[in-house]
């Protein structure tokens, strides 16, 4: 049985994936933004599981979170599930970053670099990444007028490209991006049209299964079907430019 860390596992798709993996006998390491949120996990997920705590909008918390995970031991798989959706304002983290960029892009990048390298990495993207511009000049929204949907789409382009870059740079690690679909979670809302069960099955499958397709790397998946992402995702020059930009912003290097 595997040891799997899931970010953002207090509710939604992250909790659903955790419950699925726990029922199958895996050792699930859960993540909550705060101690109050961690109590929610304890009350909804039976059994004894590690819970690590950290706010993904804070670089200090991200470093602490990585340390907590590393102290537990090497993970077999990590599912980068946590994210924020349509933020009404740019916001400003302790480091001055836009909240959407910090949580959806900088956090998975930093955790990828800081946590001991696992066998498998799964990053949650979105079909909305296809509408994003691949320009990196103002990814932190310091010059542009705030547009929540555009910022979200860009962050999901970044994380899909990160997954593909890691697959290329770390060939011994299976790294994939997943579009869970528009599912009726707290983030997706009650009118979402995709199936919640299918929304978490693909990342669980990529994290633990050993059939031929699940053991591939560098893919972009929707409901266990491999799809072609935006061309920028597979563009090595874009991947390298993105990683260099994220390293510059965070001081953390892959």
Which is more confident, 183 or 24? 24
Domain hosting residue 179, numbered range: 3-250
Our CA angle for 176, 156, 60, nearest 5°, is: 90
How many structural domains does the chain have? 1
156 is catalytic: yes
85 is catalytic: no
Q: Which of 51, 43, 47 is nearest to 25 (CA)?
A: 47
Catalytic residue among 109, 152, 220, 222: 152
Q: What is the pLDDT of residue 186?
A: 53
CATH number of the CATH domain containing 76: 3.40.50.720
Catalytic residue among 3, 109, 123, 156: 156
The alpha carbons of the chain give a radius of gyration, in whole angstroms, of 17
Of the candidate ranges 25-29, 148-152, 191-195, the one whose mean pLDDT is the lowest = 191-195
Our CA angle for 107, 116, 35, nearest 5°, is: 50
Q: Taking the model in full, what pTM does it have?
A: 0.93
Whether 69 has a pLDDT exceeding 50, the answer reads yes
Whether 22 has a pLDDT exceeding 80, the answer reads yes
């Amino acid at each position: 049985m595997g040891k799997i860390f899931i970010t953002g596992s207090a509710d939604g798709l992250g909790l659903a994936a955790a419950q699925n993996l726990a029922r199958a006998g895996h050792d699930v390491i859960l993540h909550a933004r705060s101690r109050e949120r961690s109590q929610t996990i304890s009350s909804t997920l039976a059994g004894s599981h590690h819970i690590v705590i950290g706010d993904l909008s804070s670089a200090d918390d991200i470093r602490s979170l990585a340390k907590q995970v590393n102290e537990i031991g090497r993970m077999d798989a990590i599912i980068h599930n946590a994210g924020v959706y349509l933020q009404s304002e740019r916001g400003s983290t302790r480091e001055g970053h836009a909240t959407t960029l910090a949580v959806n892009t900088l956090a998975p990048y930093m955790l990828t670099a800081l946590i001991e390298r696992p066998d498998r990495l799964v990053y949650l993207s979105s079909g909305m990444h296809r509408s994003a511009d691949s320009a990196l000049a103002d990814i932190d929204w310091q010059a542009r007028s705030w547009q929540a949907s555009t910022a979200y789409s860009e962050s999901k382009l970044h994380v899909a490209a990160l997954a593909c870059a890691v697959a290329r740079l770390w060939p011994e690690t299976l790294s994939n991006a997943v579009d869970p679909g528009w599912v009726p979670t707290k983030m997706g809302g009650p009118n979402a049209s995709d199936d919640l069960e299918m929304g978490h099955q693909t990342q669980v499958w990529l994290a633990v299964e050993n059939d031929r397709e699940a053991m591939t790397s560098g893919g972009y998946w929707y409901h266990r079907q491999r799809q072609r992402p935006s061309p920028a995702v597979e563009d090595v020059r874009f991947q390298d430019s993105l990683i260099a930009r994220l390293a510059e912003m965070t001081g953390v290097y892959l």
